[in-house]
Amino acid sequence: MFSVFPDHAMHEQSAFLRIRLLAVLGVIGFSSVACDSGNSYKPPPPPNVTVSHPQRDQVVDAIEFTGNTQAFYTVQLRARVDGYLEKVLFKEGDIVDEGKTLFLIQQQSYIAKVKEAEANLLSAKAKLMHSETEFKRYTGLMKEEAAAQTDVDHWHYERDSNRAAVMANEAQLDIAKLNLSYTTVKAPFRGKASRRYADPGNVVGHGEETVLAEINKIDPLYVYFTISERDLLKIRETMNQSDVARRAKPSPNMPIQVGLANEEGYPHEALLDYADIQIDPSTGTMQLRATLSNPDFRLLPGLFVRIRAEKPGVHDGLLVPEDAVAFDQAGAYVLVVDAQGVVSRRGVGLGALDHKRYEVTTGLTDDEWVIVNGQMRAIPGKKVTPIKQGESQGSANP
């Protein structure tokens, strides 16, 4: 007699395996469908940039420079005689008037030397008076044959010798008075005083002229800057051909505009008062200097300044915003967008900077689209979505 239970168990096991296989195949098929339908890579849309046409406008002929301010005068106040520094009579950093006493060096020994020189001078004058009297007396006696020639010669020598002694003592008195005057150190002009470099009680001027402080005259200020050989030649070309002196170098006393690093435009006016006599062959530049009024002492030496020198007359120019222009080793350039929205780099020649707009002299035409905002998102050779300046982001390509 045979049992059917083993066959029944094998049948159930085979059915179970078929069910598991179908479940695995279903999961794999679902995963592949999900991958194909939802996780495929889609490139991002071209970035938005703002574009604008260059503008035609009247441009004032001008050249831009950068420079630095310097004090009109700079003087180191030194101890010209030795002694103890008694007093400091000014507040550091203040504006001091011309002739104000700033330092006082101990005076007693110098007053005594003046008195000693005066006494020596009086003694020399007394000797001179005596020798002159004796010379006259012996000269008269010799005419009466009552004195010898040798006596006359002796008093002639004494008179001349005493005259020289008087002159020497007068010089010593002048020196003593001069040294006494050096004990008071005064401001040579109205200016801004530095901190003191020596404190009261110290010996100053011993063996050297000790620097006590510095003082700068900062009204007016000097503005120093350089002009390149190229710009200089350009200026010469625009000047009157008959004016040889003006064509040789920029005209002195020509007004220029000056602006600080944190100021808009050029609110200060200065006068060009000096041009160097030659071009520096190592740099290819010439140094220029202007005088800038500073009555409120607000400006200080050493400031970085922007300088604009205008030439007479205006002309029609092609202008782009200052922010649209970038610079690299090849020079100035702008980014332009073509009809297909592709970005390209365009090297340009620049003229004057007028109210935050550069004049473009070469490299652009009126009908081209220049990127004026979003340059960091624009890559030459890649597409962008250009939006005309002043329109919404839904605008189409130009």
167-185 pLDDT tens trace: 999 999 999 999 999 999 9
| Residues 298, 238 share a domain | yes
Tell me what the mean pLDDT of segment 144-167 comes to: 92
Task: Give the residue numbers spanning the domain of 347.
Answer: 49-58+316-388
Is 276 a member of any domain? Answer: yes
Q: Is the predicted pLDDT of residue 149 greater than 60, yes or no?
A: yes
pLDDT of the residue at 254: 81
End position of a domain, from candidates 315, 331, 354? 315
- Cα dist. 80→89, 183, 215, 301 in Å? 18, 8, 16, 27
Hey, how many other C-beta atoms are within 10 angstroms of the C-beta on 32? 10
pLDDT band for 16, please (50, 70, 90 cuts): low
- Write the CATH number for 130: 1.10.287
Is 143 a member of any domain? Answer: yes
Closest CA to 194 of 78, 91, 84, 301: 91
Q: Is the predicted pLDDT of residue 4 greater than 50, yes or no?
A: no
| Residues 310, 322 share a domain | no
pLDDT band for 30, please (50, 70, 90 cuts): very low
pLDDT of the residue at 190: 95
Residue 178 CA to its chain's centroid (Å): 40
pLDDT of the residue at 70: 96
End position of a domain, from candidates 299, 315, 331? 315
pLDDT of the residue at 242: 40
pLDDT more than 90, % of the chain: 59
| Residues 289, 327 share a domain | no
| Residues 345, 265 share a domain | no
pLDDT of the residue at 1: 42
Hey, how many other C-beta atoms are within 10 angstroms of the C-beta on 345? 15
Instruction: Give tens-digit pLDDT for 269-319.
Output: 999 999 999 999 999 999 999 999 999 999 999 999 999 887 766 778 899
Strands 48-52 and 385-388: parallel
Instruction: Please give the single-letter amino acid code of residue 299.
Output: L
pLDDT band for 14, please (50, 70, 90 cuts): low
pLDDT of the residue at 63: 82
pLDDT of the residue at 372: 92
Instruction: Give tens-digit pLDDT for 103-112.
Output: 999 999 999 9
pLDDT of the residue at 38: 55
Number of domains in the chain: 3
Is 195 a member of any domain? Answer: no
**Higher pLDDT among residues 44 and 384, named by residue:** 384
End position of a domain, from candidates 282, 315, 348? 315
Tell me what the mean pLDDT of segment 143-149 comes to: 86
Is 84 a member of any domain? Answer: no
pLDDT of the residue at 370: 93
Closest CA to 74 of 180, 217, 177: 217
The number of CA neighbours under 13 Å toward the Cβ of 6 is 2
Q: Is the predicted pLDDT of residue 35 greater than 60, yes or no?
A: no
Residue pair 166/142 in contact (Cβ under 8 Å)? The answer is: no
- Cα dist. 74→124, 133, 192, 194, 300 in Å? 44, 56, 10, 11, 12
Place of tokens 């740099």: 283
Is 206 a member of any domain? Answer: no
Residue pair 362/349 in contact (Cβ under 8 Å)? The answer is: yes
- Write the CATH number for 373: 2.40.420.20
**Higher pLDDT among residues 255 and 245, named by residue:** 255
| Residues 277, 226 share a domain | yes
Is 147 a member of any domain? Answer: yes
| Residues 253, 232 share a domain | yes
**What does the alpha-carbon distance between residue 133 and residue 154 come to, in Å, rounded to a whole number?**
13
| Residues 322, 308 share a domain | no
Q: In what order do the strands lie in the sheet with 203-204?
A: 184-186, 101-105, 83-88, 203-204
pLDDT of the residue at 83: 94
pLDDT of the residue at 314: 76
| Residues 322, 309 share a domain | no
| Residues 178, 241 share a domain | no
Residues 6+ positions from 122 with CB-CB distance below 8 Å: none
pLDDT of the residue at 240: 53
Closest CA to 372 of 389, 358, 385: 389
Phi/psi for 305 (5° steps) reads -135, 155
| Residues 139, 66 share a domain | no
- Write the CATH number for 267: 2.40.30.170
Q: Of 52-61, 209-218, 375-384, which gets the smallest average pLDDT?
A: 52-61
Is 176 a member of any domain? Answer: yes
Q: Is the predicted pLDDT of residue 142 greater than 90, yes or no?
A: no
| Residues 134, 124 share a domain | yes
pLDDT of the residue at 251: 54
Token pair for residue 305? 């300044």
Helix, strand and coil percent figures for the chain, each rounded to 5: 30, 35, 30
CA angle 48, 49, 50 (to 5 degrees): 130
Is 163 a member of any domain? Answer: yes
Q: Is the predicted pLDDT of residue 2 greater than 80, yes or no?
A: no
pLDDT of the residue at 303: 95
47 CB-contact burial (10 Å; exposed 0-12 / middle 13-18 / buried 19+) = middle
DSSP assignments along 196-255, one per residue: -SS-TTSEESSSS-EEEEEEEEEEEEEEEEEEEHHHHHHHHHHS-TT-HHHHHSPPTTEE
Q: Is the predicted pLDDT of residue 132 greater than 70, yes or no?
A: yes
Cα-only R_g, the chain: 46
Tell me what the mean pLDDT of segment 344-370 comes to: 87
pLDDT of the residue at 8: 52
Residue pair 362/348 in contact (Cβ under 8 Å)? The answer is: yes
Instruction: Please give the single-letter amino acid code of residue 114.
Output: V
| Residues 320, 275 share a domain | no
Residue pair 378/343 in contact (Cβ under 8 Å)? The answer is: yes
Q: Is the predicted pLDDT of residue 119 greater than 60, yes or no?
A: yes
